[in-house]
């Protein structure tokens, strides 16, 4: 998903407009109609390719439609967003994949810009492609090495999204087709190398599937798979081991079982927050159950209709990173309230500017306006405290006025 530029002009980055259009799932015809037929689809195509430049009127109209400043629409992105791997069914078309990439590029680029503006440059804590993996045994070991690297021990992960964000992994959710589960991506910069990493999941799946998809995409970030090996299968093994370490399942199920009780699997599901299907698969991977037992369990799961909806569903986990960073940026005066609302809307109210910014504005006022504001504030305080029982206020040790 590299951004390319027209060699004859640095004014228009190729694919920036196209990325925004694809993220909205619009064809060139539909975009032309959306901006009132101001220009044709042929003209829009030439803008996307960097062949022609739009007039100021058209550029402003396009920027207004996509809700971005004109300078942002036509300036080069600060980073290159590269998708490393997808988890999706073969039924997902190339057009749908292009839209998915555009959605990820837009959101990830905003995350990187927000990160650097509010937090400065952060060190990527994920050991990207650090673990050589050629077999399922290697994948299992890689999961344990990452747990050790992050000092996680063997306890179940109560909130995977929070854990990833604590280790500087951006967790993105997108609305997409049913066949898409997730992908991993990195943000690169020529003068700084890798500046951020991300894992992506679809927002309309159950919590256990969300967690497994994120762990699967984490595998693609940290594993360096030997050529010819099945990267998807190895990522699945990594995800299972990362979420349910072997020693945990062997402790709870034993090391050799001839059958499994659904009730005991439900109990393990509650605290490991993985599906019953994943637990059965994990038990088979670790040779706790034989292949006939494994197949028998899945026959029962299919018969009960649990392939699509299991008992005791796991709640989806929510990313809090944007809200935290935006509120911090507003409090520090790095972001204005209007900029903050662009990211979080009214979901988290941003009612106050930073103290430093308020003081600066107050001191810039004429003396009569300063006095008026102070009198209004005093009146509000008097109204607030008018019914207070001042007789119970402890006065001993207070200075006399």
Domain ranges across the chain? 1-76, 79-238, 321-380
**Quick count: other Cβ atoms within 10 Å of Cβ 362?**
12
Residue linked to tokens 């299972």: 240
Is the Cβ–Cβ distance between 162 and 91 less than 8 Å? no
Q: Is the pLDDT of residue 8 over 80?
A: no
**Mean of per-residue pLDDT scores for the chain:** 83
Question: pLDDT of 206-253, one tens digit each?
Answer: 999 999 999 999 999 999 999 999 999 999 999 999 999 999 999 999
pTM for the model stands at 0.77
Question: pLDDT of 57-81, one tens digit each?
Answer: 888 888 888 887 777 777 667 788 8
**Predicted local distance difference test score (pLDDT) of residue 392:** 40
The end-to-end CA distance of the chain, in Å, is 68
Question: pLDDT of 84-102, one tens digit each?
Answer: 877 777 778 888 888 888 8
Nearest to 268 by CA among 256, 282, 255: 282
Q: How confident is the model at residue 384 (pLDDT cuts 50, 70, 90)?
A: low
Question: pLDDT of 34-49, one tens digit each?
Answer: 988 888 989 888 888 7
- Within 190-320, residue ranges assigned H as helices are 207-222, 231-243, 246-253, 262-272, 276-285, 291-303
Instruction: Please give the residue that has the higher pLDDT: either 358 or 149.
Output: 149
The C-alpha atoms of residue 196 and residue 162 are separated, in whole angstroms, by: 16
Q: Report the pLDDT averaged over residues 359-385.
A: 76
Q: Is the pLDDT of residue 398 over 60?
A: no
CATH code for residues 1-76: 1.10.260.40
Q: Is the pLDDT of residue 358 over 70?
A: no
**Predicted local distance difference test score (pLDDT) of residue 386:** 61
Q: Report the pLDDT averaged over residues 171-189.
A: 87
Report which secondary-structure segment, H or E, holds 21.
helix 16-23
Strands 223-225 and 169-174: unpaired
Note the Cα 293 to chain centre separation in Å.
Answer: 38
**Predicted local distance difference test score (pLDDT) of residue 87:** 74
Q: How confident is the model at residue 381 (pLDDT cuts 50, 70, 90)?
A: low
Q: Which two tokens stand for residue 160?
A: 């995977």
Is the Cβ–Cβ distance between 246 and 223 less than 8 Å? no
């Amino acid at each position: 998903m590299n951004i390319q530029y027209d060699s004859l002009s640095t004014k228009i980055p190729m694919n920036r407009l196209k990325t925004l259009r694809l993220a909205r799932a619009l064809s060139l015809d539909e975009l032309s109609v959306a901006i009132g037929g101001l220009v044709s689809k042929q003209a829009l195509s030439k803008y996307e390719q960097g062949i022609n430049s739009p007039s100021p009127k058209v550029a402003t109209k396009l920027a207004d439609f996509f809700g971005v400043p004109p300078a942002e629409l036509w300036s080069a992105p600060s980073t290159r967003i590269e998708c490393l791997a997808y988890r999706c069914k073969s039924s997902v078309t190339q057009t749908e994949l292009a839209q998915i990439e555009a959605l990820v590029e837009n959101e990830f680029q905003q995350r990187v810009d927000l990160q650097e503006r509010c937090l400065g440059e952060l060190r990527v804590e994920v050991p990207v492609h650090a673990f050589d993996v050629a077999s399922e045994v290697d994948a299992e070991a890689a999961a344990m090495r990452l747990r050790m690297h992050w000092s996680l021990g063997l306890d179940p992960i109560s909130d995977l999204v929070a854990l990833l964000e604590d280790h500087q992994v951006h967790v993105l959710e997108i609305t997409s087709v049913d066949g898409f589960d997730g992908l991993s991506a990195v943000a690169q910069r020529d003068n700084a190398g890798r500046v951020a990493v991300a894992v992506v999941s679809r927002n309309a799946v159950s919590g256990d599937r969300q967690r497994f998809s994120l762990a699967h995409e984490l595998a693609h970030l940290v594993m360096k798979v030997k050529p010819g090996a099945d990267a998807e299968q190895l990522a699945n093994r990594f995800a299972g081991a990362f979420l349910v370490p072997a020693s945990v399942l062997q402790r709870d199920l034993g090391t050799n079982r001839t059958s499994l009780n659904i009730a005991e699997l439900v109990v393990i599901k509650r605290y490991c927050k993985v599906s019953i299907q994943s637990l059965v698969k994990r038990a088979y991977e670790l040779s706790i159950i034989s292949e006939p037992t494994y197949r028998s369990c899945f026959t029962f799961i299919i018969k009960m209709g649990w392939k699509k909806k299991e008992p005791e569903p796991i709640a989806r986990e929510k990313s809090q990173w944007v809200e935290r960073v935006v509120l911090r940026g507003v409090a520090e005066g790095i972001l204005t309230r209007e900029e903050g609302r662009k990211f979080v809307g009214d979901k988290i109210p941003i009612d106050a500017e930073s103290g430093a910014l308020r003081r600066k504005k107050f001191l810039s006022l004429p003396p009569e306006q300063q006095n008026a504001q102070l009198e209004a504030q005093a009146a509000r305080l008097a109204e607030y405290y008018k019914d207070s029982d001042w007789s119970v206020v402890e006065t001993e040790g207070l200075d006399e006025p």
